[in-house]
Structure 1
């Protein structure tokens, strides 16, 4: 399965992945998922929001145990973020069958669409729509860098967007959702009590609150070779000061703040910019700290803008509050995986996931697989094969403990 997925959407220039929502690479990933489902005799479904489902047992019976993740990527992302969870889900089902386990609850594997938000700028679109956290009206307003709307992209890919929106009936069928994911950090690789070499698998405790903010810095376009320094209204200066302020605020508070995307108009080498648009991603252990960090960055931007003659507008494009995974389910996972007496690490994460979105609607939990370098959202993202197999075994143990006699 892993070998079949590896070439899909991979850039020969960077070695990274460009599996954006409703593109050809996304279609190939979706075809792979459907083929895996049908080769195992699972009932395949595509829901109203473009999320894929593969069912073992009666979907209408309720109290289902669902696992899975996503197959799309960030620009030039790594191979493991998302796909490891989907591949491991099919492999865990194979392991259950090899054990002769008999589920007495329906089991399902899912691939949620557009988790990374690389094309339309909003993460977890498929799960947000299903959970009612993204309205159809707002979804219709989403556009990519070429001005293509989400409905247009879906139609071009052969899917009817007319029915997108909340899917409470489907979510009501789910008794538990468990997502396996490569760790986006290296906490599991660090020595701990009873695990001098770290641990191959851990259980998630919570997801930090996080969001995305768009900063628009509006100045005045002019000639780079003839405009005196004192006559300039250069938004690039304000943007640069804001980036540095974000770093300082994050260091001071223990939060995270990143300007990772920027667009410039007119974007000429010999032209002073008229507009610099930068996107801030910020995360923190609690919402009070996050609010304080973003507020400090915004004040730094407007203060510098006033000195530079640059107008600053800030728009919050997305926000996800802190997610405390359902304690009963989280503790059950830790107990199932620690039956040999070796404690399983329980750790928070700063990364958002579909499991976090669904947590407001269904009991959710997450498993992490060790990432020795901690690198993610990069072609250098990796995990050892033995650790990936340990993740499959752990997921099979969890599914067996939750769904089988």
Structure 2
């Protein structure tokens, strides 16, 4: 199997005619089609395919047992996302296993390819949901009750893939079976482009979280309400967006600081209507927990001030938070050595590998993205670099799976 050809097979699945790129959300038709594609390709390699109780899919090479070397990524996307974020890691994993099989390689330890569910959080609002459930980072009952924008609960949605929501939750048996997890991902930045290298190993993931901001004002008529009489939550929200941009930019120097309000829902949303409420989602990231929390507090202070200035109220709810992740140092160094000293880079993007790092030795490989653009239809990676990433992953599996239990 060739990674480029594998990506070509799914290139038409989930195309978004409005946003461009792809919209492949968990348990919706496009993502379900990708799940079936993954199962079919894995079975074609002779792998034993299993869907766990949290909706993550595993394709096993060899008998399931302790010390299993896991590789993989996710298949879902953000709304209007690129072709590589997630599927590149899954396709590269299939290509790596295929290459080793063609060589006649016999792993001394079991190998499994994973496709995690709801990594982006685009349908139910919580990123890395499949890995968080598996690791017990979020209660199964809490996840089952989550609803999407149409009112469908996670419990209802997961049944579309045969998942019983009563079984959602920490999977101690599976965690105990894994000896390591290595996730390959397209780089979401220009680090490799700047270094002129096709592949890198990850060092860490910035601390990051999501908060829901609800600005409440007074709905009214756009033509009949004087400007001085308005309590417009859209105006308050706009001021908060600019404040977040200004504050994060002031801190983004030697230390990393990121703040984004990328999703907004005005209610009722009419052209000639002053909204009564605006729901907004704030994403904040930083090098360390104290830095990230301090940045958040400064942004929220400015947001509350903006709400007050416009006669509005503001309620803030933390939806998720992940502390700074430092990948396993020993595993990282083994990967760097195996790949002839490739660069080591930190990332500001969250990943399933970051969730599992608290449970098992975990590492990541990045494949070069020449523009650094991601979460966008303009996300890119050359065929040559995709193949270089798959070859790197092949070497990693060869080394890790060669060691006896």
Question: 1:227 aligns to what SS in structure 2?
Answer: coil
Question: 1:188 aligns to what SS in structure 2?
Answer: helix
Measure how far apart 1:12 and its partner are: 3.5
Q: Distance in 2 between matches of 1:63 and 1:380?
A: 39
Q: Distance in 2 between matches of 1:108 and 1:245?
A: 46
Q: Confirm whether residue 380 of structure 1 aligns to residue 378 of structure 2.
A: yes
After superposition, give the CA deviation of every residue in 1:200-233 in whole Å (9 maximum; x if it has no partner): 0000000000010111100011111111222111
Q: Which runs of 5+ in 2 are unaligned?
A: 1-5
Q: Distance in 2 between matches of 1:40 and 1:87?
A: 13
**1, 5, 14: which one pairs with 2:10?**
5
Q: Distance in 1 between matches of 2:118 and 2:189?
A: 22
Q: Distance in 2 between matches of 1:223 and 1:44?
A: 57
In the other structure, the counterpart of 1:74 is 78
After superposition, give the CA deviation of every residue in 1:1-58 in whole Å (9 maximum; x if it has no partner): 2221111111244441111011111111010011111111111101001100000111
In the other structure, the counterpart of 1:312 is 314
Q: Distance in 1 between matches of 2:240 and 2:18?
A: 32
**92, 98, 116: which one pairs with 1:94?**
98
Q: Distance in 1 between matches of 2:307 and 2:10?
A: 47
Q: Confirm whether residue 18 of structure 1 aligns to residue 23 of structure 2.
A: yes
**348, 351, 369: which one pairs with 1:371?**
369
**47, 53, 56: which one pairs with 2:52?**
47
**Structure 1, 301-310 or 253-262: larger mean CA deviation:** 301-310
**259, 264, 267: which one pairs with 2:266?**
264
**129, 133, 140: which one pairs with 1:125?**
129
**195, 210, 225: which one pairs with 1:212?**
210
Alignment of 1:29-40 (within 5 A): 29-40=34-45
Q: Distance in 2 between matches of 1:142 and 1:399?
A: 37
Q: Compared with structure 1, are the counterparts of its residues 157 and 105 closer, same or farther at alpha carbon in structure 2 (3 Å cutoff)?
A: closer
Question: 1:88 aligns to what SS in structure 2?
Answer: helix
Q: Which runs of 5+ in 1 are unaligned?
A: 192-197
Q: Distance in 2 between matches of 1:275 and 1:66?
A: 45
- Equivalent pairs counted in the alignment come to 394
**Structure 1, 2-11 or 154-163: larger mean CA deviation:** 154-163
Q: Distance in 1 between matches of 2:139 and 2:96?
A: 34
Q: Distance in 2 between matches of 1:174 and 1:160?
A: 23
**Structure 1, 232-241 or 317-326: larger mean CA deviation:** 232-241
Q: Confirm whether residue 152 of structure 1 aligns to residue 156 of structure 2.
A: yes
Q: Distance in 1 between matches of 2:293 and 2:267?
A: 29
In the other structure, the counterpart of 1:162 is 166
Question: 1:377 aligns to what SS in structure 2?
Answer: coil
Check conservation: 1:253, 1:289, Cα contact below 8 A: no
Question: 2:316 aligns to what SS in structure 1?
Answer: strand
In the other structure, the counterpart of 2:223 is 225
**Structure 1, 253-262 or 221-230: larger mean CA deviation:** 221-230
Q: Distance in 2 between matches of 1:156 and 1:104?
A: 36
Task: Report the TM-score, using the length of structure 1 for normalisation.
Answer: 0.95
